[in-house]
Amino acid sequence: MVRETILDNGLKVLVQEVHTAPLASVWCWYRVGSKDEGPGVTGVSHWCEHMNFKGTTNIPRDQVKGIIEKFGGSWNGYTWIDQTTYLETASKDALDQMLFIEAERMDACLYEPADCESERTVIISELQGGENDPEQLLDTEVTSTAFKVHPYHHPTIGWQTDLETMKRDDLYGHYRRYYVPSNATLVIVGDVDTDEVLKKVEKQFGTIASGVAPARVKQVEPEQQAERRVVLRKEGTTAYWKAAFHAPAFEDESFFPLLVADAVMNGAAGLNIWSGGGVARPQRSARLYRALVDKGLASSVTGSLMPTQHPYLYGIYASVAEGQALSAVEEVVLSEIDRLSSGGITPDELKKVHAQLRARFVYDGDSVTDIAHQIGYFETIASWSAYHSLRNRLDTVTIEQVQAAAVKYLTPSNRTIGWFEPTS
């Protein structure tokens, strides 16, 4: 059971006791991601995430990692479109140190000008490395083409022109605006006593100023009126195909029916973007695998429907087999989508993917680290209690709802198709 507490400064604290091993996982979540960035500062959230590992007023930069590692623990962080988060998982004896690190990160990061400049080079190099990955480049181009108005248009790493011109004050101002208790959620899961945890949290975080809740994104993406296409021709060895359909936000009633549709097409995937459930998708009997991989048209195929705060995208991706044509892969995928929209799914398919998805939800919370991630992640896009309602929402999905979701979202006018054609 999760216990929710809100400190006087607005920091939300969520604690769940799990006494299976003497471990604790601490995650600090901020409601800021690439969707909260404006023109000229795309990538600032991701850059700030990097900077917040560079030392604080009371933690020298060369000791940030060592504090947790000496307890045999792990640490990390990430930024995506709706959130930024940091984590430490270690022996429960390290809880004081983990809380100390996150309190320092919230209120005492330095942003030394020299560190900002060196990190600019690192991030631009990271971006250019992604541009040399055909799949990643195609994904960026398709996503930015699919969105005209909503800031989901921007890649999380940002556009290179913005990364080249942003200043230290842009970074530090973003940090001070969003890294405040009233915009944060602290999640602790593990072999802990809740009352003791809350005392420790109050000691570490209670004196940090609340800050002003940042303005929220108000842009609404207009309905797409016609199919859009992206064709990339660059040096490479493999052709890639992608389709992106505008999809419902997590809280929309159509989200789970579309999730079931994806499971029928591609095999069930979980809803943990951090670990992916740790196991491969059960694809062998999925429609697109049988139609593409089994028949030698593609070497791989998959789908992606991520839980997000605002309507995002449902993607289908295929790596074209050597000697096969992009047009042939596209013809088969679109034919299977038409078959889904016109004929729906069978009772046996619904039963199968229902069992698969229930299993995936279990895998998604396979450790104290995963449990803490899921609680915090769903708090940033909806509410932490939504994590505990996944099975109930899945259980209510009907065959009719799956077909209705396919008819509504998997239409030609709602899609953006991308081709990567390798050149010698």
Q: Model confidence over 83-115: pLDDT tens digits?
A: 999 999 999 999 999 999 999 999 999 999 999
Within a domain: 210: no
Which amino acid appears at position 60 of this protein? P
Has residue 386 got a pLDDT over 60? yes
**148: number of Cβ within 10 Å:** 12
Which one of 205, 220, 243 terminates a domain?
A: 205
Which amino acid would we find at residue 269? Answer: A
Would you say the pTM of this structure is higher than 0.95?
A: yes
Q: How many whole angstroms separate alpha carbon 321 and alpha carbon 299?
A: 5
Which structural domain range is residue 286 located in? 228-423
Kindly state whether residues 268 and 122 are assigned to the same domain.
no
Which string of DSSP letters, residue by residue, matches 334-383?
A: HHHHHHHHHH---HHHHHHHHHHHHHHHHHHTSSHHHHHHHHHHHHHHS-
**Is the domain of 280 the same as that of 312?**
yes
The answer, yes or no, to whether residue 263 has pLDDT greater than 80, is: yes
Q: What are phi and psi of 250, to 5 degrees?
A: -55, -40
In angstroms, the first-to-last Cα distance of the chain is 57
Examine residue 220 and state whether it is found in any structural domain, yes or no. Answer: no
The answer on pLDDT for 278 being more than 80 is: no
| Residue 235 bridge partners (DSSP) | 423
Average pLDDT over residues 392-417: 98
For residue 211, tell me if it sits in a domain: no
Looking at every residue in the chain, the average pLDDT score rounds to 96
Distance from the Cα of residue 72 to its chain's centroid: 27
pLDDT of the residue at 277: 56
Q: How confident is the model at residue 61 (pLDDT cuts 50, 70, 90)?
A: confident
pLDDT at position 276, please?
65
The mean pLDDT of 312-326, rounded to a whole number, is 98
State whether 147 and 11 are in the same domain: yes
Interval 187-226: pLDDT, tens: 999 999 999 999 999 999 999 999 998 999 999 999 999 9
Determine contact, residues 236/269, Cβ cutoff 8 Å: no
**Cβ–Cβ < 8 Å for 97, 29:** no
In three-state secondary structure terms, 264 is helix
